Amino acid sequence: MAAVLRRGASFICLGSSQLLSGGCKHGRTCILPFFSSNNRNSSSSSKIKVDLDSSTGIAVVKFQNPPVNSMSLDFLTEFVISLEKLELDKSCRGVILTSAQPKIFSAGLDILEMYGKSPEHYAEFWKSVQDIWLKMYGYRKMTIAAINGFSPAGGCLVALSCDYRIMADNPRYRIGLNETQLGIVAPFWFKDTMVNTVGHRTAELSLQFGLMYSPSDALKIGLVDQLVPEENVLGTATETMTKWLAIPDHAREISKSMLRKPTVDRLLASRDADTKNFVNFVSRDSIQKSLGLYLTMLKERKE
Ligand SMILES: CCCCC/C=C\CCCC/C=C/C(=O)SCCNC(=O)CCNC(=O)[C@H](O)C(C)(C)COP(=O)(O)OP(=O)(O)OC[C@H]1O[C@@H](n2cnc3c(N)ncnc32)[C@H](O)[C@@H]1OP(=O)(O)O
């Protein structure tokens, strides 16, 4: 039985029951939107903060999973629920993704979810990674990534899945699909997303070397669309979204679907095989060893 708390106009539901929200179907703790009296609807689960301005139709979704916004199973579950709710909300026309953490957009998939766990856990985790990509790449509403920090691997994939990317022009930041540097392999749908954005030859170099690009190099290869001073990232994203929203929604949405559906369909046609492939791959001793060494390297860097 779920514990349901009512706090003013907001509901919080805890547990696996779905008494109040279609969004709680994943059986995890979730918090329903808090409706205020003005045009802003905010909701804040533990890892994702949503702020929807229904007068403009623009929602800002902030990652708040310290220290580095790594995408754990819980993070991905909350993220997909938030996007589902916004997709169903008629007052929302566009979504900006950004980070509440300084200097980091997202450190990518949580490596601890792929290290030292059971095959069942790997399968559950991988399905949630597939879910977020399928949701984002096929998202009906306009999406902008406001990339205000480092964005390796899964963080880069999330940005690539948006319709437009604005990055902070800070030469210390990096973005890219660096999987091979960890001794792992970006699956075919990560690769497809990269190829669709930067072209085949650049993707060949990028994926094989596991290249991480500075903002100016990322702009050169078309991995991001625009660089702005760090303090202007969210403001520019909001202005840009307003321009895109001048296009009639149905026309933009159908155009996006024509371009992206074949890529989405490739994964939909082979989800189970892709999951099995991931579980077999990540369970190998050699891959576990690589991930263990990488985690140690991350820790030792600080000492
Ligand atoms: C053909 C078959 C194919 C089948 C498929 C097979 C394989 C699947 C591939 C799966 C695709 C994988 C995608 C991914 O996203 S893998 C993750 C890649 N991410 C990274 O490489 C980023 C690693 N992190 C960093 O580079 C840095 O942390 C940073 C983001 C630049 C931030 O640096 P800094 O501010 O200095 O923070 P720290 O390094 O000190 O980190 C703070 C703590 O956070 C831990 N951490 C960092 N990143 C991760 C992560 N991704 N997952 C889990 N934990 C992470 C770090 O260890 C620190 O922990 P501590 O405080 O306990 O020491």
What is the mean predicted confidence (pLDDT) over 205-214?
Answer: 98
Gap from CA of 111 to ligand 1 centroid (Å): 6
Q: Is the model's pLDDT at 1 over the cut of 50?
A: no
Cβ proximity of 98 and 234 under 8 Å: yes
Tens digits of residue pLDDT in 78-114 = 999 999 999 999 999 999 999 999 999 999 999 999 9
For 57, 177, 260, the CA distances from 157, given in Å and listed in that order, are 25, 7, 15
Dihedrals φ, ψ of 65, to 5°?
-125, 80
Which of 84, 61, 64 lies closest to 72, judged by CA?
A: 64
| DSSP secondary structure letter of residue 24 | G
What is the mean predicted confidence (pLDDT) over 102-127?
Answer: 98
Gap from CA of 68 to ligand 1 centroid (Å): 8
Query: How far is the C-alpha of 47 from the C-alpha of 69, rounded, in Å?
Result: 8
In this predicted structure, what is the pLDDT of residue 21?
A: 28
| Higher pLDDT among residues 224 and 19, named by residue | 224
In this predicted structure, what is the pLDDT of residue 39?
A: 80
Tens digits of residue pLDDT in 235-284 = 999 999 999 999 999 999 999 999 999 999 999 999 999 999 999 999 99
Which of 192, 153, 194 lies closest to 175, judged by CA?
A: 153
Which of 56, 50, 139 lies closest to 92, judged by CA?
A: 56
Other CB atoms within 10 A of residue 134 CB: 17
Dihedrals φ, ψ of 147, to 5°?
-90, 100
Pocket test for ligand 1, best of 47, 65, 68 (most atoms within 8 A of CB): 68
What is the mean predicted confidence (pLDDT) over 200-205?
Answer: 98
In this predicted structure, what is the pLDDT of residue 234?
A: 98
Q: At what angle do helices 200-209 and 188-198 cross, to 10 degrees?
A: 130
Q: Whose CA is nearest to atom 62 of ligand 1?
A: 299
Range in 21-30, 131-140, 185-194 with the lowest mean pLDDT: 21-30
The tokens describing 217, both together, are 């190099």
Per-position DSSP letters for 106-163, written without gaps between them: ---B-GGGGSS--HHHHHHHHHHHHHHHHHHHT-SSEEEEEE-SBEETHHHHHHHTSS
Q: How confident is the model at residue 38 (pLDDT cuts 50, 70, 90)?
A: low
Catalytic residue numbers, as ranges: 109, 154, 178-179
Query: How far is the C-alpha of 176 from the C-alpha of 229, rounded, in Å?
Result: 20
Q: How confident is the model at residue 133 (pLDDT cuts 50, 70, 90)?
A: very high
In this predicted structure, what is the pLDDT of residue 40?
A: 82
What is the mean predicted confidence (pLDDT) over 207-220?
Answer: 98
Please give the domain boundaries of the chain with CATH numbers for all domains: 40-278 (3.90.226.10)
- Of the spans 66-70, 182-186, 297-301, which averages the highest pLDDT? 66-70
Percent of the chain with pLDDT over 70: 87
CB within 6 Å of ligand 1 — which residues?
67-68, 70, 104, 107-112, 150, 152-154, 178-179, 182, 184-187, 277-278, 281-282, 298-299, 302
**ipTM of the complex as predicted:** 0.97
Range in 8-12, 156-160, 258-262 with the lowest mean pLDDT: 8-12
| Higher pLDDT among residues 1 and 232, named by residue | 232
State the pTM of this model: 0.89
In this predicted structure, what is the pLDDT of residue 36?
A: 42
Cβ proximity of 86 and 42 under 8 Å: no
Cβ proximity of 175 and 181 under 8 Å: no
Per-chain mean pLDDT for the chain: 89
Q: Is the model's pLDDT at 19 over the cut of 50?
A: no
Q: Is the model's pLDDT at 185 over the cut of 70?
A: yes
Which residues sit opposite 48 in a β-bridge? Answer: 63
Gap from CA of 301 to ligand 1 centroid (Å): 13
Gap from CA of 58 to ligand 1 centroid (Å): 30
